[in-house]
Structure 1
Amino acid sequence: SISKKRMASASMSSVSARSSASGGGFSRAFRISASFGSAAAASQSWNAAGVTLAARAILFDNKARSLTLPHIQVKSVVDVDWSLLKQRGMTGVLLDKDHTLTAPYSDELYSKEVADAMSRCVTCFGRENVWVLSNSAGLRSYDPHGHEAARLSNLWGFGVATHTYRKPDPRCIDEALQAFPAGTEASRVVFVGDRSLTDVAVGNAAGMVTVQVSPFPGVRADAESLTTRFSRRVEQCLTSMWRGQGAQAPTHPFLV
């Protein structure tokens, strides 16, 4: 299996922040800009699919517990070895937004290092194979016409998928895969995110390789809703306990 040590980035050398994609780019995305605002925060205040999964896992459903555990755990996207994942057979990448690429409800990539990491990702997989699946940006209950998703895609230089269903509802994966080139298999897509009960769970349920990152340090506590902060604490405690009881991430054929 791929170890955390091997997944660490071999070099922190800077790469160009300019995207070759028309109308967008990493240098523009690095600028300070406005936050998403209260509408996006409200869109994440209740997540029925997440609550259902948590209840199943708590009630001794070992399969549900397994779904919440990632195949790979790193500090941030900066530490992901995209080339190694591609060598293992991966053809695409799906990423969460908040605490994976940006601070909550911000459209600014968190740091130059994050921007550089995403530049490497796009270079490795191609822009058409790198997409964001967020419970804020691109969610139709918040962005019904996809204008925000299109704006962020243009700003960052890689796409933001529009979808109706929230993670971890498996139907959101079906929607996101429609953004990838025809024939893309879920088992060959890497899902990167920070949340166990949404990002990791939905990726594992779809048969993807899951990579969990840590929340960005230095983000103000009040930048997230109370519900989100509470949920994050609870899932951290639960997944730690389940690991201690022997739970493991689902096996994946490309990581054996």
Structure 2
Amino acid sequence: MVQSLNLAAVRTTARVILREPALALPHQRVRDISELDFAELREAGCHGVIFDKDNTLTAPYSDEVHPRLAGSLRRCVETFGAERVAVLSNSAGTPDDPGGVAADALEAALGVHVLRRRHKKPRGIESVQRHFQCDGTALLMVGDRYLTDVVFGNMHGMLTVHTQQLTTEGDNRVAQAMRRAEDWLVARYVRRGVRAPPHPLALNSWGPGGARGRS
């Protein structure tokens, strides 16, 4: 699927760089979703989970959950219920997906809802509100990109988790270059002492900024 230019992400990137660097900092960084304790998050008051797709749940341009994450996604669904777990992709379910064909295929493969919306991250909060019917502070946003996934979650008051890239296989060069730039930018902010916005659901075990020593 060919993705259109995301002008909202360009504008938001300028906002982060010039005025609000904390928006790019996640509350936690993990290797992948297998490191998340969904039962603990549910007990802490989290009401639902939003996942990015590519390099968070699946390999780029694949509909199937990455083999090492299948059990973790299943545990998430068992903990929250399928209606409280959703995918927010910047391809499937957007105007780049006419008729929602890709979103339908992804739902069938993953067994969770794919949010349909008119705008890409970091816009698109309306689809989240319609689906979950709760305030953003009760939701967890999980993704591998700082300037789309993490910024989207932080802009709308969510708990944010950044995951490492699952694989470089099949990923396009533009995405790879953007990821390297984001990693450099966030590492610079961390060295300056910038932290994620405070959040009531951040677990004590995560420590300051949720860093766990990863860049």
- In the superposition, the TM-score normalised over structure 2's length comes to 0.89
Aligned residues: 203
> In the TM superposition, what is the alpha-carbon distance from 1:176 to its structure 2 partner?
2.5
Amino acid aligned to 1:68:
A
Which residue does 2:3 correspond to in 1? 43
Tell me the CA shift for residue 254 of structure 1: 2.4
Structure 1 contact 163–176 (Cα < 8 Å) conserved: no
Aligned with 2:98: secondary structure?
coil
Where does residue 175 of structure 1 map in the other structure?
Answer: 127
Bigger Cα Rg: 1
Select which of 122, 132, 155 maps to 2:77.
Answer: 122
Pairwise CA distance, 1:235:
0.7
Partner SS, residue 191 of structure 1: strand
Q: Which residue matches 1:239?
A: 186
Structure 1 position 150, deviation (Å) = 2.0
Identity between Structure 1 and Structure 2 (%): 38
Q: Which of 98, 101, 109 is equivalent to 2:57?
A: 101
Instruction: Tell me the residue number matched to 1:202.
Output: 152
Relative to total residues, which structure has the larger helix share, 1 or 2?
A: 2
Q: 1:124-157: per-residue Cα shift (whole Å, max 9, x none)?
A: 0000000000001111x22222232122212211
8 Å contact from structure 2 (residues 16, 23) kept in 1: no
Q: How does 1:1-256 map to 2 (within 5 A)?
A: 40=1, 42-43=2-3, 46-59=5-18, 61=19, 63=20, 65-111=21-67, 113-139=68-94, 141-169=95-123, 172-180=124-132, 183-217=133-167, 219-220=168-169, 223-255=170-202
Alpha-carbon distance in 2 for matches of 1:129, 1:168:
20
In the alignment, structure 2 segments of 5+ residues that lack a partner are 204-215
Residue by residue over 1:47-73, the C-alpha shift from the partner in whole angstroms, topping out at 9 and shown as x without a partner, is: 2122222223333x1x2x101000011
Report the 3-state secondary structure (helix = DSSP H, G, I; strand = E; otherwise coil) of the residue aligned with 2:56: coil
RMSD of the TM alignment (CA)? 1.4
Amino acid in structure 2 at the alignment position of 1:72: Q
Separation in 2 of the partners of 1:69 and 1:100?
17
Q: Which runs of 5+ in 1 are unaligned?
A: 1-39
Structure number with greater CO (CA < 8 Å, separation at least 6) is 2
